[in-house]
Amino acid sequence: MSDWQRLWPAPAKLNLFLHVVGRRPDGYHLLQTVFRFVDYADELRFSPRPDRRVVLATPVAGVDPESDLTVRAARALAQAKGCDRGVTIELTKRIPMGGGLGGGSSDAATTLLALNRLWGCGLDLSDLQTIGLTLGADVPVFIHGRNCFAEGIGERFYDVRLPPAWYLLVVPPVQVPTLAVFTDPGLRRDTPRLDAACWQPGSGGNDLEPVTCRLFPAVRETLDLLGRYGRARMSGSGACCFVEFADEQQARAVLAVLPAGVCGFVARGLDAHPIQN
């Protein structure tokens, strides 16, 4: 199978903690977090075109295809390399939108990684991360491709070794607009910085959680529900929440007893992005 025929995964991520430690003069928030990839993913397929157009053949409901991050990523790569090749993108969407799992950023990163290879651009990961940062703060970490402690606006990484784990994720019936959380006057922005070398699995909280729970009570209800079975955490700005388990059987046993109508799934923690393996 050629690279043009293969399916390219775009995995979800979890924020194992997320602290807001300051704010730059330009308004960007300074963060510290640990990203973990999980084996729940969108999938993309790319087909060459005889023209120079970038076309998303499978638009996402409610998203203008011209502003979709996959389209923007392809065009940004073409512009960076002076490339005049076209592509049709097929996106199979599984990662919930507005869930704090990084689906759009992951799709953009996979587009950059795939087309860099398919178009023969020859850019290294650092070059691709620079392009990715123009698309969104989380895009570079998906290009980096390793579980890591990240800080700044998402551009500085320190790889971390994480123990094997399984996660039960629950998707509340809301989509959380990240901008609404970060612009809320009640958001804490002065959490003391952590030394990346001193971070330990299980430490830290999510500074966005109080604001998201106030704006979207369904998130608080989900955290309360999952809190019966372990330490419940929210990923990113929400809405998805998760609990960590040592093995798949435990995670699936809890999933099986959740109330009817609760939308959830089980995912395995990964050591690296599947494209980077």
Q: What is the pLDDT of residues 165-187, one digit of tens each?
A: 999 999 999 999 999 999 999 99
Q: What are phi and psi of 44, to 5 degrees?
A: -125, 145
Q: Are strands 8-23 and 29-49 parallel, antiparallel or unpaired?
A: antiparallel
The Cα 46–Cα 30 span in angstroms is 35
Spatial separation of the C-alpha atoms in residues 105 and 108, rounded to whole Å: 5
Q: Which of these, 115, 65, 64, 66, lies nearest to 87 by C-alpha position?
A: 115
Strand partners, 82: none
Residues 6+ apart with CB under 8 A from 157: 140, 141, 144, 146, 148, 149, 150
- Given the candidates 3.30.70.890, 3.40.50.880, 3.30.70.2080, 3.65.10.10, the CATH classification of the domain at 166-268 is 3.30.70.890
Known catalytic residues are 13, 138
User: Cα separation of 25 and 115, whole Å?
Assistant: 35
What is the per-residue pLDDT for 263? 96
Contact 92, 59 (CB under 8 A): no
User: What are the domain boundaries of the chain?
Assistant: 8-159, 166-268
pLDDT tens figures, 99-139:
999 999 999 999 999 999 999 999 999 999 999 999 998 99
The answer to whether 24 touches 30, Cβ cutoff 8 Å, is: yes
Does residue 206 sit in helix, strand or coil? strand
Q: Is 239 helix (H, G, I), strand (E, B) or coil?
A: coil
Contact 49, 88 (CB under 8 A): yes
To the question of domain 8-159 being in CATH 3.30.230.10, the answer is yes
Instruction: Name residue 64's amino acid.
Output: D
- How far is 256 from 165, CA to CA, in rounded Å? 18
pLDDT of residue 160: 95
pLDDT along the chain (277 residues), means of 10: 89 98 91 97 96 93 90 96 92 94 97 96 95 94 96 88 97 94 96 93 95 97 98 96 98 97 97 87
- What residue type is assigned to position 83 of the chain? C
Which residue carries 């996106």 as its tokens?
A: 91
Tokens describing residue 44: 């993309």
